[in-house]
Amino acid sequence: KAGVTQTPRYLIKTRGQQVTLSCSPISGHRSVSWYQQTPGQGLQFLFEYFSETQRNKGNFPGRFSGRQFSNSRSEMNVSTLELGDSALYLCASSSQGGHQETQYFGPGTRLLVL
């Protein structure tokens, strides 16, 4: 099976712009989670989608949003970018999003905000 894929791998944006990141889960996986990784805050949970519904959300401002399509592919959007949004954004997929399941991570999208 192909692993989790994320596009693009690298992005450079300027403050105030918006950005959309894409994630394709492992075939058959219906749960997709997103994380932000920064040197200062570490790995933080953004949100989780299952069957096109957001089931769980972390403590991030409303500028961070996401969606999931019927084929389980997911996108996340960040509007009005700030310098502090520079980070590695990771998505992960699992079969059902259950707490005993392994989450499989993609390689990440590295976002730099200038």
Q: Nearer to other proteins by C-beta: 62 or 98? A: 98
Please report how close the Cβ of residue 80 comes to other proteins at its closest, in angstroms.
25
DSSP 83: G
Interface residue list for other proteins (CB under 8 A): 4, 31-33, 35, 42-43, 45, 48-50, 55-56, 58, 90, 92, 94, 97-108
Alpha carbon dihedral 67, 70, 74, 78, in 10-degree steps, equals -20
Residue 12: partners with Cβ closer than 8 Å, 6 or more residues away: 112, 114
For residues 32 and 78, which CB has a smaller minimum distance to other proteins in the complex? Answer: 32
Give the nearer residue to other proteins in terms of CB position, either 81 or 106. 106
Shortest Cβ distance from residue 96 to other proteins (Å)? 9
| Residue 91, number of CB atoms within 10 A of its CB | 29
